Amino acid sequence: MAKQQKCTWYSQWFDSEYYHILYENHDFLEAEGFIDKLTKKLALPINSTVADIACGRGRHALYLSKKGFNVTGLDLSPSSIAFAKKMESDQLNFHEHDMRKVFAKDKFDLVLNLFTSFGYFEDNQDNYKAIAAMAASCKQEGLIVIDFMNTNKVLNRLVTSDTKVAQHIHFDISKSIIDDFIVKKISFRAHGSDYNYEERVRIIYQKDFMDYFKFAKLKVKKVYGSYDLKPYDEKESDRMIFVLSKL
């Protein structure tokens, strides 16, 4: 008898239509501007192979392909990948995939994990596995970019409660620190039913990432602190954007 897979919060929430409704107003122009600046800074040649790890519905992967790169989008959510596959082309393809596993060894010129699409796993060892899998998927001369929230600033300025309205749905949001995670609880009523979801992102500091990188035999080439690629400042930066290469 096959072993039943444990249902995780991210497999439920990321596969829900309400996840995309809540975050429908994310600043995609800012994200695309960041991608423009990043690919220019990295001097990434046209037709380079790019992996977008945890690509969601593929909007940023699509943008990368329009810039002339050969892009593979990978995500754990079946519904997100089904949505993204409608956009596939000769330069763009999508696959349902767990980031803890190697997709294709030594395949990509650039491996991206953007917009805090990391730190969801309950077991910290899975974070080591995910970084190691990214490293294995990257060519020896390639680069890996991991973009994560600046944990120091987020914790110092944590907003514990908020309400957001999207498509006439009132999302009540609370945030708290539980064990080693920032936990966001999301409650709302839609179509006559009550829903309760949560997001859990591990509290990961720069020093923790350095441990992951050492394990995966990666070298830090640069750390940026914003989507404008300004230098990282532990207290004031919004992001930790690591540019990595293999040792």
Q: Which of 20-29, 121-130, 185-194, 214-223 has the lowest mean pLDDT?
A: 20-29
Q: In what order do the strands lie in the sheet with 239-246?
A: 92-96, 70-75, 49-53, 108-113, 138-149, 239-246, 218-224
Among all chains, which residue has been given the structure tokens 């829900």?
16
Element containing residue 50 per DSSP (H, E): strand 49-53
For the entire predicted model, the pTM comes to: 0.92
Sheet holding 193-202, edge to edge: 161-166, 169-178, 181-190, 193-202
Q: Model confidence over 12-60: pLDDT tens digits? A: 888 889 998 998 877 677 889 999 999 999 999 999 999 999 999 999 9
User: Is CATH 3.30.420.40 what the domain over 9-21+30-149+205-246 is classified as, yes or no?
Assistant: no
pLDDT, tens digit (0-9, with 9 covering 90-100), for 127-168 = 999 999 999 999 999 999 999 999 999 999 999 999 999 999
List the domain boundaries for the chain.
9-21+30-149+205-246, 154-199
Find how far residue 180's CA is from the centre of its chain. 19
Structure confidence at residue 136 (pLDDT): 98
48-105 pLDDT per residue, tens = 999 999 999 999 999 999 999 999 999 999 999 999 999 999 999 999 999 999 999 9
Tell me which residue has tokens 């908020």.
162
Per-residue pLDDT, averaged over 203-231, amounts to 98
